[in-house]
Homo-oligomer: A and B are copies of this chain.
Amino acid sequence: MNPDIIQQVRNNTPLVHHLTNQVVMNFSANGLLAFGGSPVMAKELKEAADMAKIADALVLNIGTILENEVEAMIAAGKAANEKGIPVVLDPVGVAATSFRKEIIERILQEVHPTVIKGNAGEIASLVNADIQTRGVDSVGEGNIDDIAEKAGKQFDTAIVVTGKTDVIYAEQKLIYNQTGHPLLSSITGAGCLLGSVAAACLTTSYPVVEQLRSALSFYGLAAEHAAREPHVQGPGTFLPSFIDALSFTPKQLNGGTVDGI
């Protein structure tokens, strides 16, 4: 992790515009605020371009997408591309229905994401690779490195494949992140909020690969820290402590040995 990336976010409080799913809006907003960003969430086509003009980054997440929201996503994405601000695309549940697959194809035809972030099943689906999925969750095994690289080359973006080990493909490199905690998969929207945190890190002045590595490492350390809190007894009490931890410094999260990460 590069602690200066986290610090830059907190110095600049980047405005991250979200067209995201209804389940996670409150959690993503609170998590991003804790981390040091400033969330905006709106889905009206008529203000999509205006919002992009004031934003520093954009998150597109199709978790509860409706047909009549797609145009606003595309308009926001195109405006972000024109302005040159980073775009994180989260193809939630894309393997679950043909509707979602078509939506993602439409978005990818018109918007160039900086990063596509998903679980193995979602990223595999984008490149028609074969990984077992179930609902919006990925349950199978597969050659995730290959899938990440294939998707990265096909869409000319960085790729984040979340899992027990997160795989990042960016700038022709494959790197891995091992921080994290199983309780993250017991709360809804942990992957979605990671997209917001990554978007905030992408507004800093570092290479994408380093920004993503720092976002994922920090996020996982925050989860580990929260899970160690003595009062945490399950996913319900984990959640507030995890949001707290997102506001801490890298040093606070791992006892000061941040240089080694």
Determine the residue in chain B with the shortest Cβ distance to A243: B236
Interface membership of chain A positions 210-233, coded 1 if the CB is closer than 8 angstroms to chain B and 0 otherwise = 000000000000000000000101
Could you tell me which residues of chain A, from 35 to 85, have a CB within 8 Å of some CB in chain B?
Answer: 38-47, 50-51, 54-55, 63-67
Complex CA–CA separation, A42 to B47 (angstroms): 23
Task: Say yes or no for A6: interface residue by CB 8 A criterion.
Answer: no
With contacts A40-B135, A44-B99, A97-B51 taken as known, whether A30 is within 8 angstroms of B66 at the C-beta atoms is: no
Residues of B within 8 A of A136 (CB): 40
Residues of B within 8 A of A189 (CB): 26, 29
Task: Say yes or no for A175: interface residue by CB 8 A criterion.
Answer: no
A243 shortest CB reach to chain B, Å: 3
Complex CA–CA separation, A27 to B46 (angstroms): 27
Complex CA–CA separation, A24 to B137 (angstroms): 21
Task: Say yes or no for A8: interface residue by CB 8 A criterion.
Answer: no
Q: Is the CB of A99 within 8 A of B134?
A: no
Could you tell me which residues of chain A, from 155 to 171, have a CB within 8 Å of some CB in chain B?
Answer: none
Task: Say yes or no for A25: interface residue by CB 8 A criterion.
Answer: yes
Task: Say yes or no for A98: interface residue by CB 8 A criterion.
Answer: yes
